[in-house]
Structure 1
Amino acid sequence: MALPDSSSRRNSLIPSFIYSSSSKTLPLHHMLNSASAAAPSQPPENLHAGSRGLMIPSPSESRKIEMYSPAFYAACTAGGILSCGLTHMAVTPLDLVKCNMQIDPAKYRASSFWVWKFCLRSRDSGAFPWLGAYLLGYSAQGACKFGFYEFFKKYYSDIAGPEYASKYKTLIYLAGSASAEVIADIALCPFEAVKVRVQTQPGFARGLSDGLPKFVRSEGTLGLYKGLVPLWGRQIPYTMMKFASFETIVELIYKHAIPTPKNECTKGLQLGVSFAGGYIAGVLCAIVSHPADNLVSFLNNAKGATVGDAVKKLGLWGLFTRGLPLRIVMIGTLTGAQWGIYDAFKVSVGLPTTGGPAPAAALASDAELAKA
């Protein structure tokens, strides 16, 4: 009697389009009998214990999702939606304080009880854009950021070739993340404009549903993209630092802090490395992108304002330091959680965690092993 497929219960929790239709698990006794007839002296390979009995996978079940296939990029896109949408929504209180400190530091100070009281009042009045600009905007950004990063990382690695992809992998991380962020910010910009206006002008709107049309009536449709160039100025360096430093930090952790090779580490340990690497990368991201973040908040709050107006009012020192400590805490936590969620989702659908050699080099290595 054939034993039940031990993977069917797990796969039911994941969208079916992600999985290959050819994957199945064969009964143990059938495989043992076939193996004995073909080569009696050799034991069957890849034998493992399933949750409902001793099972052995068919050869086609070596990987649920083929690396760099359309299903792979779809899974990375879905992971990006979860990691960015959920984490940005969770840090809304910190972001609300940060934006108001940037706009009016004399009134809103992180050490003042008033600023936290203001946050609670804003939440109670419905001014928190919990399920509006935050969830939709950063989910769209996360989908493009992570999905296109994986695409461009592979694309640029293929152009470079295995040797140069391995030698200049940091440049590939930087180029891939920058390319992805250009697209991601076009998706985010309208939501970011409404978010900042709702956060910094009490009474302007209760959220995205009424804030978006009101913003368009006031600024015009193109006004939604008034902050696009400063947003690129903030997000592109941020994302380049976020991905390149994360990949480098993770590689260094596995090389110097963990004696066991990555593929032999438990999934829990690998996810812990992802969170630690993401947190450190987030601190670096916050420092690099903070001046542009101040510009985005200023421009989206003041109608008709220019970059020159922002620099003149904030000053160079204020541009680099206003709200920075709070943003370091916020972005460090945010980035660590994003990488943790993203890699946890990848693991849940059968993909490896992020970090390692450049894609072209990895594929070349796999090809050499297959020929050996």
Structure 2
Amino acid sequence: MSPWITTPLTAALVKGALDLERTEHGLLPHRLPAPARARCADPQLSLAEAQPSGVRIAFRTRATAVELDTLPTKRSYTGAPPRPEGVYDLLVDGRPAGRASVTGGNTVTVDLATGTTGIEPGPVGTLRFTGLPDRAKDVEIWLPHNEITELVALRTDAPVERLPDRGRKVWLHHGSSISHGSDAESPATTWPALAAALGGVELINLGFAGSALLDPFTARAIRDTPADLISLKIGINLVNTDVMRLRAFTPAVHGFLDTVRDGHPGTPLLVVSPILCPMHEDTPGPTAMDVSALSEGRLGFTASGDPAEVAAGKLTLRVVREELARIVADRAAEDPHLHLLDGRDLYGEDDAAELPLPDGLHPDAATHRRIGERFAERAFAPGAAFA
């Protein structure tokens, strides 16, 4: 007789997702609910929200061995070096206890020159952790933050039960690829995951790579999601995509905040302006691929806008920060629970000199850790917005 016990994967065991879609293989976690997904067919957003950043399987058990079957969907870029396998982090009683990857799965190949994509189907793979302590313990498996992951089966060598309520506050964070975890070492070491651990809160990460664009359906999803603390990191994707001018930006920020407040009228709400990104401080978007970097077999980005157009309303990071500060100050008299955090307090000029952004846009693993620690200091410390 097999020693394995198979436990059905249900919403009771999955944290950090806003929706679980039933597929032919199992469950596909989504970080936007179905009504929000129906409002936008953009492929970048569809990819980003289905990558389970901050999503984890959590349970209590005496098991010493755990197996998880998943079907990953991996990405590759024509002409670029192969991307590393997605990483799963194991936490036992909140402490790192293992790290592994799943081979196999589907592969989506993107040709950056033409914008075309192709998909090659692949098999389900198995993640295995053994040698866990033989005692009752809280187990979390954090899913790869940058790899779509269908959950197929969970097996353990002892029964599993739902994790009891630990009385922690729920922190919902929305932001761009930096919040999503681009170039972080693993899912539990993205800066929001690190900050959540330091702050002793449960994370819902709505960081969407390339897709933090003040979309009304995202605001409604935040409005309708229970949360004790909310932060909104606004700016870099609006510059990246060159999607609006200052005239549209200001009312769009107000509208986003108004919608969030409809569902969370008294919740501490922290607006976070962009971290330092030298190429876009005074040069507007759109952001473009650095062709010279691609010719060297690496990914890099460059600002392709004209600084002279800022006077006509084009957005730069400096313009965004100044306007966000003005908006928050204007609203503060009527909203005492609204706060502002300058992103340069998380990563500024001195940090850029010491830890430059490797591709010009995204922080590396060490910088994610620094940003997470600083956010925890500035948001969760006594007297701070989330204290």
Relative to the length of structure 1, the TM-score reads 0.27
Relative to its length, the structure with more helix (as a share) is 1
Relative to its length, the structure with more strand (as a share) is 2
